[in-house]
Amino acid sequence: VREVAPADIKLMPNPSKGSFTVDLGQVAPKANVEIWDVMGRRVLQKSSEGVQRIPVQTKLSPGVYLVKVQANGQSVTRRMIIE
């Protein structure tokens, strides 16, 4: 089992209407997803185990958010646009 590589992590679709999927590129024993607004407030946190894809459902206001994904000791942050 290889480590989840930051380049493998994708957010789909992006931009989104509020529902999107975090694709880790492979199955991760544990994964944590956090969404932060531009003011630095965490607006969502979700944990999953033994999955490759994590579905995220939000009712966030339109704007730009940062999605921080932690899996297998790796951490990556991606920008998500909510329409």
Angle at 45 between CA 39 and CA 49, to 5 degrees: 150
Tens of pLDDT along 45-62? 999 999 999 999 999 999
Q: What is the reported pLDDT for 73?
A: 83
Confirm if 68 and 36 have CB atoms less than 8 A apart: yes
Tokens of 80: 């998500």
Percent of the chain with pLDDT over 70: 95
Tell me: pLDDT of 1 over 60: no
Q: pLDDT averaged over the chain? A: 92
Tell me: pLDDT of 71 over 80: yes
Q: Cβ neighbours of residue 40 under 8 Å, at least 6 residues apart?
A: none
